[in-house]
Structure 1
Amino acid sequence: MTVPDAPGLRRAGVVLCAVEHAGVPSVILIRRAYQGRNAGQWGLPGGRLEAGETPEAAALRELREEIGLAAGPADVLGRLDDFPATSGFVITPIVVALEHPGVPLPSPDEVHSVHHVSLRTLADDDTPRWVPQAAGRSLLQMRLGPGWSVHAPTGAMLWQFREVVLLGRPDARVADFVQPDWTRQ
């Protein structure tokens, strides 16, 4: 699903980067630096589109700038649904597979740490948890480890990757997922 352009809408591209880490198929998550926008939050490498940039180009540029991994158009497997974040950004997740990614080199101004989440963990039945909210809605928590829960927007993108790519459920949609209040920055 693509969100159409509208006045005031800002766009960003992020990379859902599949790699082999210590012999295990995984995706890369980052913990944002503890200063600036989205301080300390879990995320995918990515950021806002520059003038004339496509979501794919922005996502690949940000992957290189934020964690030092180089990917080109041939590494792109596809894209997931645009996610309309409460921050005013529409985020386009680009799925990339890197056969020989090298060692991530996080930019200290933007990234506190780089983490790998196994595809097995993402596919596990116990990973998504739905927490009841007001008006009969539920908040998704992707429980990736002890004390490690990731919410929308990043959690929604991980959930859609899980559903579509890992579990073969192509009709999984995320645009209406509840987001925690602190994501409105």
Structure 2
Amino acid sequence: MPTINRFELSRALKQFRAIKLPLDGRRAAAVCIAVLVEDGEPVIWLTERSASLRAHPGQFAFPGGRIDPNETAAEAALRELKEELGIHAHPQQIVGELDDFATKSGYVITPFVVWIGDFTGAVRPNAAEVARVHTVTMDEVDADPRFIADPQVDAPILQWPFRDLGVHAPTAAILYQFREVVLRQRNTRVAHYGQPVFAWQ
């Protein structure tokens, strides 16, 4: 497992050229992959969305959401991190971006990798949006994905095995690209992977 500190994270992301996508009638959104250090170990936060939400209830997600008018994607990602988890991060803590990902539900998501660093505080999830927060180790991130066929989907659906659960694209695709770029130093693209029907109907 490669060392994950701010320098190594920044170096890996600087060697990667993120692909930007036009909206083409879709809505713009942004998410945070927040990398922190707990008890000397680098981890990331993954949330489960509240069951009461109108869009994608109960699904796994990174902190994030729609970009407001007159707001940049980076500003939106950091705002959502604060609103959903109570974590304040400065723009200087953004160390890079991954590829934009177009969802079947009509969004173009821009993923930002944010260095939180040593963390001894408390996460304060917004119960209206977040049902649960998972702290995910890099060993868990480094799991090989599974690929699932569905006759209703015209591409293999990427599934990331998480403990006794399965996380699907788009979240799984973004996480897989983070693994490939940061942990494996490979410029792997993920836009072609399918998304399960429940994620967009």
Q: What TM-score, normalized by structure 2, do the two folds share?
A: 0.85
Deviating above 6 A after TM superposition, structure 1's stretches of 4 or more consecutive aligned residues are none
Q: How does 1:144-163 map to 2 (within 5 A)?
A: 144-146=162-164, 148-163=165-180
Task: Decide which of 41, 44, 57 is 1:24's aligned counterpart.
Answer: 41
Percent sequence identity over aligned pairs: 41
Question: Normalized against structure 1, the TM-score is what?
Answer: 0.92
- Cα distance in 2 for residues equivalent to 1:180 and 1:5: 21
Query: By how many angstroms is 1:53 displaced?
Result: 1.1
1:167 to 170, 184, 191: 184
| Mapping for residues 113-132 of structure 1, pairs under 5 Å | 113-124=132-143, 127-132=144-149
Gaps of 5+ in 2: 1-18
Structure 2 distance, partners of 1:92, 1:176, is 16
Q: Secondary structure at the match of 2:117?
A: coil
What does residue range 4-153 of structure 1 map to in structure 2 within 5 Å?
Answer: 4-6=22-24, 8-36=25-53, 37-101=55-119, 102-124=121-143, 127-134=144-151, 137-146=155-164, 148-153=165-170
Quick one: distance in 2 between partners of 1:73 and 1:60? 8
Is contact 1:21–1:116 with CA below 8 Å preserved after alignment? no
Number of positions where the alignment pairs a residue of Structure 1 with one of Structure 2: 180
> For the structure 1 residues 155 and 21, does the alpha-carbon distance in structure 2 shift closer, same or farther, using more than 3 Å as the test?
same
Separation (CA, whole Å) in 2 of partners of 1:67 and 1:25: 18
Deviation at 1:183, TM superposition (A): 1.1
5+ residue gaps, structure 1: none
SS of equivalent residue, structure 1 residue 5 = coil
Superposed CA offset, 1:47-94 (max 9, x none): 000001111110000000000011111110110000000000000100
Report the alpha carbon displacement of residue 42 of structure 1 after superposing the two structures with TM: 0.4
Residues 1:181 and 2:197 are matched in the alignment: yes
Does the 8 Å CA contact 2:38/2:118 hold for their aligned counterparts?
no
**CA positional deviation for 1:21:** 2.8
CA contact 1:128–1:142 (8 Å) conserved in 2: yes
Q: Which amino acid aligns with 1:164?
A: V
Compute the displacement of 1:14 (Å): 0.3
